[in-house]
């Protein structure tokens, strides 16, 4: 699995020692505010296993984020392939999750840009999307900062969110390889 360095971060495969801070991240109600619910430890373990399988199968996935200055695990950023027949699926999403004490430092922007670079250059992707609920202004601001554009014509009701749930509607942001190449 590929490891990257940015100015302040190491983006690397998940290690066994990451499990406890990863599970704590997924249990944190503030971090998980825009999801259906925090994850149990069993769900976090399955999620970590799936992340590692995706890296093995596709050569990309979600990378653990480690601060260079403290060597602390602070979350993850990367690319995730979504299967499915309901638009916007199938697609590749750039996504992230960060511990609250690391918010507001530009870490996700830094890592998100590196993930996009890998997706378009090494992985050869033609389009990368990101999506969230409309109220998630922090993530939407990151999407703007890393060069994605909101495409209201592709906003959707997430098929894994129950009908009538306030988190069902999602906004979709996107960038193509040509747009990425032009912006660099």
Q: What is the pLDDT of residue 86?
A: 76
- What does pTM read for this prediction? 0.95
**Would you list the domain boundaries of the chain?**
4-183
Measured between its terminal Cα atoms, the distance across the chain in Å is 26
Which CATH fold topology does 4-183 show?
A: Aminopeptidase (3.40.630)
pLDDT digits (tens, 9 = 90+) for 117-171: 999 999 999 999 999 999 999 999 999 999 999 999 999 999 989 999 999 999 9
Does residue 7 contact residue 20 with C-beta atoms inside 8 Å? no
Q: Give the β-pairing of 62-67 and 169-176.
A: unpaired
pLDDT bracket for residue 48 (50, 70, 90):
very high
- Please tell me the distance from the alpha carbon of residue 2 to that of residue 25, in angstroms, as a whole number: 23
Predicted confidence at residue 118, as pLDDT, reads: 95
Q: Is the pLDDT of residue 15 over 80?
A: yes
Look up residue 39 and give its DSSP letter: P
Percent of the chain with pLDDT over 90: 91
Residue 173, strand partner residues: 130, 150
List Cα–Cα distances, 40 to 35, 83, 163, in angstroms: 13, 24, 23
């Amino acid at each position: 699995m590929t490891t990257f360095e940015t100015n302040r971060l190491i983006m690397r495969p998940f290690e066994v020692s990451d499990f406890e801070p990863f599970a704590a991240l997924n249990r944190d109600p503030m971090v998980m505010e825009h999801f259906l619910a925090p994850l149990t430890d069993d769900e976090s373990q399955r999620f970590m296993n799936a992340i590692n399988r995706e890296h093995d199968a596709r050569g990309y996935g979600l990378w653990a984020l480690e601060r260079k200055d403290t060597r602390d695990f602070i979350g993850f950023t990367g690319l995730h392939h979504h299967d499915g027949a309901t638009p916007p699926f199938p697609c590749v999403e750039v996504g992230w999750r960060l511990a609250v004490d690391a918010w507001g430092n530009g870490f996700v922007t830094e890592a998100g840009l590196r993930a996009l670079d890998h997706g378009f250059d090494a992985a050869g992707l033609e389009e990368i999307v990101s999506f969230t609920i409309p109220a998630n202004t922090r993530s939407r601001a990151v999407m703007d900062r890393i060069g994605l554009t909101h495409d209201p014509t592709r906003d959707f009701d997430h098929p894994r969110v129950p009908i009538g749930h306030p988190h069902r509607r999602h906004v979709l942001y996107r960038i193509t390889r040509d747009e990425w190449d032009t912006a660099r």
